[in-house]
């Protein structure tokens, strides 16, 4: 009886489709392979950013939602500026991941690119990319950030600690602040 119901339901769903493309809307991707490729992509981008901008050498960093920027500085003088998109956050209180597009405290413009990641998840049947919130640890935050970086072809990523967790972001662009240059020898392209 259940098999007949499923078969009839499937037949109705398929006949309701306008074309073959509708039937093949979800193209499943191997999540583990995507994760591995994404980590490799992000590692290469992080290495490039570190070598070019020496990000660990500055006194502090600050991010600004309205400007959509992450700024590294010394003595209050901006040295490196990254244009950013928030990916999401890990709560160490609830041990959960929350995508930035589902977080009411994140400005819409700062999470707009994550809709591309969510759409990728829908197209490829990847629930971790489409579910607003789910049980997670810090490593999951890095995994989602790496996947977002690969999909968006980001220039790098950053994790900012907070009182009860971490905020993860990707760089859509990164450059020296006006009048600043590397403290290291420039790498030739």
- 34-51 pLDDT, tens digit per residue, is 999 999 999 999 999 999
Over residues 128-146, mean pLDDT: 98
pLDDT-derived band of residue 27, with 50, 70 and 90 as boundaries?
confident
Residue 163 has what pLDDT? 92
Return the higher-pLDDT residue of 2 and 149: 149
> Is the predicted pLDDT of residue 188 greater than 60, yes or no?
no
Residue in 130, 125, 103 with CA at minimum distance from that of residue 115: 130
Over residues 8-26, mean pLDDT: 41
Mean per-residue pLDDT of the chain: 86
Tens-place pLDDT, residues 47-89: 999 999 999 899 999 999 999 999 999 999 999 999 999 999 9
> Is the predicted pLDDT of residue 182 greater than 90, yes or no?
no
**Residues in the chain, how many?**
189
> Is the predicted pLDDT of residue 98 greater than 90, yes or no?
yes
178-187's contacts with Cβ under 8 Å and 24+ in sequence apart are 180/77, 180/78, 180/79, 180/80, 182/52, 182/53, 182/54, 183/54, 183/57, 184/51, 184/54, 186/52, 187/51, 187/52
Any idea where the domains of the chain sit in the sequence?
Answer: 25-176
The CA distance from 109 to 112, in Å, is 5
Residue 26 has what pLDDT? 63
91-97's contacts with Cβ under 8 Å and 24+ in sequence apart are 91/164, 91/165, 92/164, 92/165, 92/166, 93/164, 93/165, 95/135, 95/136, 95/137, 96/133, 96/134, 96/135, 96/136, 97/128, 97/133, 97/134, 97/135, 97/136, 97/140, 97/141, 97/144
């Amino acid at each position: 009886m259940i098999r007949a119901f499923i078969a009839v339901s499937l037949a109705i769903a398929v006949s309701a489709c306008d074309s073959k493309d509708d039937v093949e809307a979800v193209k499943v991707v191997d999540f583990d392979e995507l994760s591995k490729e994404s980590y490799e992509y992000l590692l290469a981008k992080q290495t490039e950013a570190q070598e070019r901008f020496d990000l660990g050498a500055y006194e502090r960093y600050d991010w600004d939602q309205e400007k959509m920027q992450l700024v590294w500085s010394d003595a209050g003088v901006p040295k490196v500026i990254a244009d950013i998109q928030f990916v999401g956050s890990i709560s160490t209180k609830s041990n959960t991941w929350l995508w930035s597009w589902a977080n009411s405290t994140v400005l819409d413009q700062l999470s707009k690119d994550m809709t591309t990641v969510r759409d990728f998840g829908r197209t490829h049947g990847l629930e971790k990319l489409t579910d607003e919130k789910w049980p997670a640890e810090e490593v999951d935050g890095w995994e989602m950030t790496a996947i977002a970086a690969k999909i968006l072809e980001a220039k790098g990523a950053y994790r900012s600690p907070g009182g009860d967790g971490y905020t993860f972001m990707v760089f859509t662009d990164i450059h020296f602040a006006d009048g600043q240059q590397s403290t290291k020898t420039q790498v030739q392209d």
